[in-house]
Amino acid sequence: MSANIPETSQKRVVIVGAGFGGLALAQDLSKKDLQVVLIDKNNFHQFQPLFYQVAMAGLEPSSIAFPLRKVFHNRKNVHIRITAVEKVDTDNKIIYTGLGDMTYDYLVLSMGANTNFFGMENIINNAIPMKSIAEAIYLRNRVLQNFEDALTENDKGKRAGLMTIVVVGGGPTGVEVSGTLAEMKKLILPKDYPELNFDEMKIYLFESSPKVLEVMSDNAASKSREYLEHLGVNLRLGERIVDFDGEYAYTSNGDKIRTNNLVWAAGVISNKIEGFAPELFGRGRRMLVNEFSQVNGFDNIFALGDMALMATDEYPNGHPQVAQPAIQQGKLLAKNLLRIIKGETPKPFRYKDLGSMATVGRHLAVVDLPFWKFQGIFAWYVWMFVHLMSILGVKNKVLIFVNWLWNYITYDQSLRLIIKPKVIKAKPDLIPEENTIS
């Protein structure tokens, strides 16, 4: 089996992962005299900061995804392959994928990160992560279906379990999910389900540290806490969820909460790749790289973004696992690869912190810029503008703007659809039963 990449006289750069860093690198290299091979498990780039809006029925999945092939129209030197990388043979410069093996001159690993459950088996099996569009859709389906089930549930305890939601992790994702759920409880869900008593619906946010948004300023953290409490979110700071059996969430303080829904946003771990020695991985399974993004011990293998741990005096544990470091690393690596090919000295990476922000609810957001920190309605408008401009594609920007405008005017969301995959039973003489498509 072959990945069928044409052999040319151009240097071949294989990029694994079309996240923020990999896509930025591929876009810049596509304009150069290089052969670029972009590998991803999906045929689209997904805008992770807005996953929670898909999960909360605020946006269509298609509005935060952009087809990879459309990005590279008319770029004949770019070859896209939709598959997973299984292993890297660094000695022979070969990667093994689900489509076959291929050689590389330069290899860039930008596979991003996945949910870190810290080895807790019950939580792995029962909690709801949110690190992909598919998981965001699953969360939306789960929440909406539970309210449908609550309509016909006569047992008060079971009904409370269906309606109550526990969110674990007080970072931007956890704060945004909790705030949106609280607004839905007040403004939207009672209109959809007038037969239900929404006093039975509880929203909990657990964070093991003493404050939410710990990575942001003290002003942002305290204001976010104030916003969440105003919206009715039950904040449990300095407390952890240690177990979840699908019906009860158990806390580090010995409490148990009746809920069928536990959203896990408490940590990430870099996606795994075989073929490298264990000592090349650091905290959170991130690959140890130098200031040029080269994996330790290699001059032709690089790692970007969530995959890379580039220790500096300012960031001894690596740069934040958010979009900007990945984008900036990808853009610099595009220039450095050309310098390396020409035999020139590459330039070291220096992260330029453009700031951070999070939204809690309507007119409620916090923004930390290097030169200014502010909260409230203006921060909310700034948050919307920055995220809107960051989305790929004019059509996607328009779709998101229209959805946000509609939500703003009507105090409602129009995408509360339970969309489940249909199981298609294959004919026995065509496809074996175990390969049933779902």
Show the beta-strand stretches assigned E in 169-304.
203-207, 234-237, 241-244, 248-251, 256-258, 261-264, 268-270, 287-288, 301-303
List pLDDT tens digits, range 45-74.
Answer: 999 999 999 998 888 888 999 999 999 998
- The pLDDT score that the predictor gives to residue 225 is 96
Encode pLDDT of 185-195 as tens digits.
Answer: 998 999 999 99
Task: Express each pLDDT in 225-283 by its tens digit.
Answer: 999 999 999 999 999 999 999 999 999 999 999 999 999 999 899 998 999 999 999 99
Do residues 257 and 128 share a domain? yes
Q: Could you tell me how far CA 257 lies from the centroid of its own chain? A: 27
Whether residues 105 and 36 fall in one domain: yes
- Summarize the confidence of residues 206-222 as an average pLDDT: 94
Q: Is the pLDDT at 436 greater than 50, yes or no?
A: no
Instruction: Return the pLDDT at 2.
Output: 64
Instruction: Kindly indicate the confidence band of residue 418, based on its pLDDT and cuts at 50, 70 and 90.
Output: confident
Shared domain for 153 and 236, answered yes or no, is yes
Dist. CA 82–CA 250, nearest whole Å: 40
HSE at residue 230, side-chain half, CA atoms within 13 A, is 11
Residue 324 sits in the same domain as residue 289: yes
- Whether 24 maps to a domain, the answer reads yes
Domain-terminating residue out of 216, 240, 266:
266
Q: Determine the structural domain holding residue 96 and report its residue range.
A: 12-41+83-114+269-341
CATH number for the domain spanning 287: value is 3.50.50.60
Total count of domains within the chain: 2
At 123-137, the pLDDT tens digits run 999 999 989 999 999
Instruction: Give the domain CATH number at 214.
Output: 3.50.50.100
Residue 360, in any domain of the structure = no
Task: Report if pTM > 0.75.
Answer: yes
Cα 142 off chain centre by: 19
pLDDT tens digits, one per residue of 82-132: 999 999 999 999 999 999 999 999 999 999 999 999 889 999 999 999 899
State whether 247 and 276 are in the same domain: no
Q: What is the pLDDT of residues 331-363, one digit of tens each?
A: 999 999 999 999 999 999 999 999 999 999 999
Report CA-CA distances (Å) from 283 to 151, 216, 322.
46, 21, 16
